[in-house]
Structure 1
Amino acid sequence: MNELIMWIIKCLIYSLGLYMVYILIFGVILFKFHKPQRTNYEKKYTVERFYGKKISQDQVHLVEDRYYANQVMNNLVNNAEKSIDIAYFMLNDGLAAKAITFNLIKAADRGVQVRILLDGLANRVFNSIKEYLYIYATHPNITVKFYEPFNLLRPSTWNNRMHDKIIIIDEYNLGLIGGQNIDDKYLTRDGEKNMKFSDRDVVIVNTNSSNKQGTVINDMKHYFDVIFNHKYSKEPIKKLTNKVIQKGNKKKRQIVSFAKKLRVTNPELFNLTIDWNLQSIETNGIKFIYNPITRLKKEPWCFIDIARLIENAKKSVLIENPFVIPIKQMLANLYKNNEKHEMTILTNSLATNSHVYAHSGYKKFRQYMIDKGTKLYEYQGKDIIHAKSFVIDQRLSIVGAYNLDARSTYLSTESMIVIDSEEFAQKLEDKIMKKINNSLQVTKGGYSKHQTVNKKKVPIYKKVLSIILYPISYVLDYML
């Protein structure tokens, strides 16, 4: 009997070892050597399309404050009349998730068709939201799907995540895009959570609802339709059993009860009035860019366009990004014709970075960027930079979900909008510069001296972890 038990244990150990090798080969090493399929994207789509010659029907509104972003999301949902399409990387249980879920239910109750797309790894493995799924799945007017649901036997799919953050209202009337997740760390007031992200969204307002071909929201909706109906997107609740229905109804009652109290303490999440036409800025046009929906390494459509716009810049390039890890292939394109313009980059310091391994990867390229003449700043503020934005020649603004790293460039679905508006660009630049004024410029020896900004204290565990992870991130930079 003991021999049988030992034999079973050995088999399990060997099986686990083989499985780990399988994961290493198909979940890590494969991505080092796989080459994305090339298309005629660069010839088909030129950078000239980003520059408009006259006022367009699309206007924009910058959403910067955390709690205001929460209000805006719920305002859009509360005013929907026909349809709501939502794609988010992550939904975490909390005030923000409960509020928007309650408002989505109310919208669906009045006949609005709701489609929700969530990433299948972030919301299944790292974050259990089953009870929310039960609520969505049991409502006849709500359809929820996971993009690339987690599969233990397919590690090659683990890295291809859906990283978009998009809301589309009434097909092509209003749109929202940015970097927020539906999570209290992104969407609540100061002091409500220990960890706070500083992020950014943009509302797109179609001022001519009779012309859907003239608005960028129509392109966003087409992208959503493709990814939502793609074979990689699947419904997480395959069968509505009595157990699922009971749990969904129980969670729904809890959320309704929570919303009743929230109406008293946070009424602006339910009845905020915003005149979007008055609150938005005119543009010369907006273009929607995104990565292709493919597995393994993708042709980097977002990066191709961003890099070409940087290459064509005549005066200045201003970048705010939480994760700046431009691997060798990316650097070659980022610094083409860089003598023609001044490049300024704002990113997290080790103290403010939420992912130590990402900062370890960034360190590998930090000196190269400085040597190329980049003014590189690391944030020393109380929150964590999570906004992803570019300002080109104080005219074009690029905002969305794309991080300046290999993961966003080659692995994840990503989407951004490119806005042609000097007024909006100035407003965005002011917001970024405000953070730069609370940052320190990186030099070869550390930081340049600043009269009012002090280096933020780095916890010991981060320092140790950064040293340990550096050699790993150095080798695996193509996956960071």
Structure 2
Amino acid sequence: MILAITGCASIDPSKFPDKSVSHHVDYQHGSILDNFLEQPDTYPDDYSGFYPLEKGHDALLTRLALIESAQTTLDVQYYIYRNDETSQLISWRLYEAAERGVRVRLLLDDMQKRSDKGMAYINAHPNIEVRLFNPHQYRTMRGLAFLSDFDRLNRRMHNKSLTADNVATIVGGRNIGNEYFSFESSVEFGDFDVLLHGNTVTQVSEQFDKYWNSDYSVPMEWIIPDSEAVSSQDVEQWLEESQIEAKFSQGQYNFKTLPLYTQLQESDLHLFWGPAVLYYDRPEKIAGKGSQLIDDLSELLEQTQHSLVLISPYFVPTESGTQVLVEAAKSGKDVTIITNSLASNDVFAVHGWYAKYRQDLVEGGVDLWEVKATADVDNKWSMTGSSRSSLHAKAMMLDERKLFVGSMNLDPRSADLNTEMAVVIDQPEYVKRSLEQLPKQLKLKAYQVKVEDNDIVWVDHKTGETLTSEPDASIWRRMGAWFSGILPIEDQL
């Protein structure tokens, strides 16, 4: 073990000078995005406009539109950033932005294993900086790093944002990868994020700066110093070999066939406007300093008077949270919870612990729904190649007027371990419209969980059936969830 440890490549900050500090730019007046998303004079300064990105292809196209329109800066912050087709497409566009003089800051959580050499190669570009948040100290033996420093490495940056010129940003639940953008994948996530313009954009930029300049953010040159820079010849060769542009300009995945593409081309993008604020955790949360977002959210929930719709793919309410939800329902508030079924949940251990609270929630008056693994995610880019669907959106609708959307799940991990962010917008028009559509969508795409004869049952309103065991889940998956539910791991989920 000693020989293994001493043979590992590791990070020692003491060997490097202080890292550079940088900050977001001021709002870029007169820029392409400013002209496209100009805020009407009738709205005050504390308003934000948002465009809902409910479909995967629209979410990818909008990210590309921001990147290609940026003239000064791009700040990109993600938990997962894969190396598949959609990720490569975004990376190529970021490189092109850097080539035309845009400063690109790329901040990635280090839970996902990536190529250090590849990131150093990109980082060496004069207009691109890459930093890893809370990185593994042993780069070639990450498992050993995790075992030797579990408490630190178990805490991750789960924030997700992409901001251009401090004029527009995208915030929500999507990571960067095929399954988040309705491109070929064995599982397709039903996800949600929003394009934002207005007061919350600077708030997103300010939170990015806090993470970027924090002690937990490590420059790639500390990990691999003196890397050569990626060259235009390398990129041209890669483009020819990968044919990445062709994959999104012809056939089923042609951007030009999307209605949003036409709207963007014709400057016909309708934003919903309302008072808005960004909630976010401080980077110090990974050192156990508490959650600012949870404090703000608790105050928001206490102000809720009539109705609450909670959408969370990973839902572990805990005993105390279950009690709060039941008390809210018994006090006369309409409480609806939408989460994954066992078959649609990609982390069955989460389901094992959530299942402990189902009966108490339903008997306490909570309206509980579980999304089907066979649900159609309703994308123009169809479910081709996807064997199942899974809810991944993280949102709330409060009192038929407020929308909460961000990276946060309703589970102990989001509350206590990971850093999170979310925007809250007071916009009754959009929320009421969404709530009017919700009952029909739930009856088609989810099971209603009820209690009959003291047992949980699943009502399929589409077929009229009532099921008495976890729908669409194999015996092995049921056994795995059950076994996870008896392990003492709730605070890690």
TM-score (ref. length: structure 1)? 0.79
State yes or no: 1:136 paired with 2:122. yes
What does 1:418-433 align with in structure 2 at a 5 Å threshold?
418-430=424-436, 432-433=438-439
- Please provide the CA RMSD for this pair: 3.0
Partner of 1:166: 161
Quick one: distance in 1 between partners of 2:325 and 2:282? 21
If each structure's helix is expressed as a fraction of its own residues, which one has the higher value? 1
More displaced stretch, 256-265 vs 318-327: 256-265
| Contiguous gaps of at least 5 residues in structure 2 | 6-41, 138-144, 375-388
1:183 shift after superposition: 0.6
1:425 shift after superposition: 1.1
Change in Cα spacing, 1:259 to 1:278, as seen in structure 2 (3 Å) is same
Q: Secondary structure at the match of 1:340?
A: coil
Residue number among 207, 210, 227 corresponding to 1:223 in the alignment: 207
Q: Secondary structure at the match of 2:222?
A: coil
Contact kept in structure 2, 1:138 and 1:245, CA below 8 Å: yes
Partner of 2:135: 149
1:249 shift after superposition: 7.0
Quick one: distance in 2 between partners of 1:222 and 1:71? 25
| Contiguous gaps of at least 5 residues in structure 1 | 1-10, 17-52, 207-214
Change in Cα spacing, 1:242 to 1:83, as seen in structure 2 (3 Å) is closer
Task: Deviation per CA, 1:257-304: give whole Å up to 9, x if none.
Answer: 533433532553899461797423332311100122223434233233
Residue number among 210, 216, 232 corresponding to 1:232 in the alignment: 216
Contact kept in structure 1, 2:76 and 2:107, CA below 8 Å: yes
Q: What is the one-letter code of the residue matched to 1:459?
A: S
Change in Cα spacing, 1:202 to 1:430, as seen in structure 2 (3 Å) is farther
Partner of 2:246: 261
More displaced stretch, 251-260 vs 405-414: 251-260
Partner of 1:183: 177
1:460 shift after superposition: 2.8
State yes or no: 1:373 paired with 2:349. no
Quick one: distance in 2 between partners of 1:464 and 1:247? 52
Q: Secondary structure at the match of 2:186?
A: coil
Quick one: distance in 2 between partners of 1:330 and 1:291? 20
Change in Cα spacing, 1:160 to 1:241, as seen in structure 2 (3 Å) is closer
Change in Cα spacing, 1:93 to 1:131, as seen in structure 2 (3 Å) is farther
Task: Deviation per CA, 1:295-319: give whole Å up to 9, x if none.
Answer: 3434233233333333322221111
Q: What is the one-letter code of the residue matched to 1:479?
A: Q
1:142 shift after superposition: 0.7
What does 1:186-201 align with in structure 2 at a 5 Å threshold?
186-189=180-183, 192-201=184-193
Change in Cα spacing, 1:156 to 1:256, as seen in structure 2 (3 Å) is farther
Contact kept in structure 1, 2:120 and 2:227, CA below 8 Å: no
State yes or no: 1:348 paired with 2:340. yes
More displaced stretch, 381-390 vs 305-314: 305-314
Contact kept in structure 1, 2:325 and 2:361, CA below 8 Å: no
What does 1:271-290 align with in structure 2 at a 5 Å threshold?
272=261, 274=264, 278-290=268-280
Quick one: distance in 1 between partners of 2:236 and 2:150? 34
Task: Deviation per CA, 1:82-103: give whole Å up to 9, x if none.
Answer: 1111101001111111110111
Quick one: distance in 1 between partners of 2:478 and 2:70? 48
Contact kept in structure 1, 2:345 and 2:351, CA below 8 Å: yes
Partner of 1:363: 355
Task: Deviation per CA, 1:354-397: give whole Å up to 9, x if none.
Answer: 00111111112222222321111111142100000100011000
Q: What is the one-letter code of the residue matched to 1:69?
A: A
1:430 shift after superposition: 5.0
What does 1:34-73 align with in structure 2 at a 5 Å threshold?
57-73=47-63
Q: Secondary structure at the match of 2:288?
A: coil
Change in Cα spacing, 1:423 to 1:238, as seen in structure 2 (3 Å) is same
More displaced stretch, 99-108 vs 338-347: 338-347
Change in Cα spacing, 1:413 to 1:446, as seen in structure 2 (3 Å) is same
Task: Deviation per CA, 1:8-31: give whole Å up to 9, x if none.
Answer: xxx889x99xxxxxxxxxxxxxxx
Partner of 1:314: 305
Partner of 2:456: 446
Change in Cα spacing, 1:278 to 1:433, as seen in structure 2 (3 Å) is farther
State yes or no: 1:479 paired with 2:492. yes
Change in Cα spacing, 1:311 to 1:403, as seen in structure 2 (3 Å) is same
TM-score (ref. length: structure 2)? 0.77
Contact kept in structure 2, 1:307 and 1:333, CA below 8 Å: no
Change in Cα spacing, 1:330 to 1:446, as seen in structure 2 (3 Å) is closer
Contact kept in structure 2, 1:75 and 1:272, CA below 8 Å: no
More displaced stretch, 216-225 vs 149-158: 149-158
Task: Deviation per CA, 1:114-136: give whole Å up to 9, x if none.
Answer: 111111122x2xxx244641442
Partner of 1:121: 111
More displaced stretch, 266-275 vs 105-114: 266-275
Q: What is the one-letter code of the residue matched to 1:169?
A: A
Contact kept in structure 2, 1:63 and 1:202, CA below 8 Å: yes
Q: Secondary structure at the match of 2:175?
A: coil
Q: What is the one-letter code of the residue matched to 2:130?
A: V
Quick one: distance in 2 between partners of 1:407 and 1:381? 24
- The count of aligned residue pairs is 416
Quick one: distance in 1 between partners of 2:306 and 2:461? 28
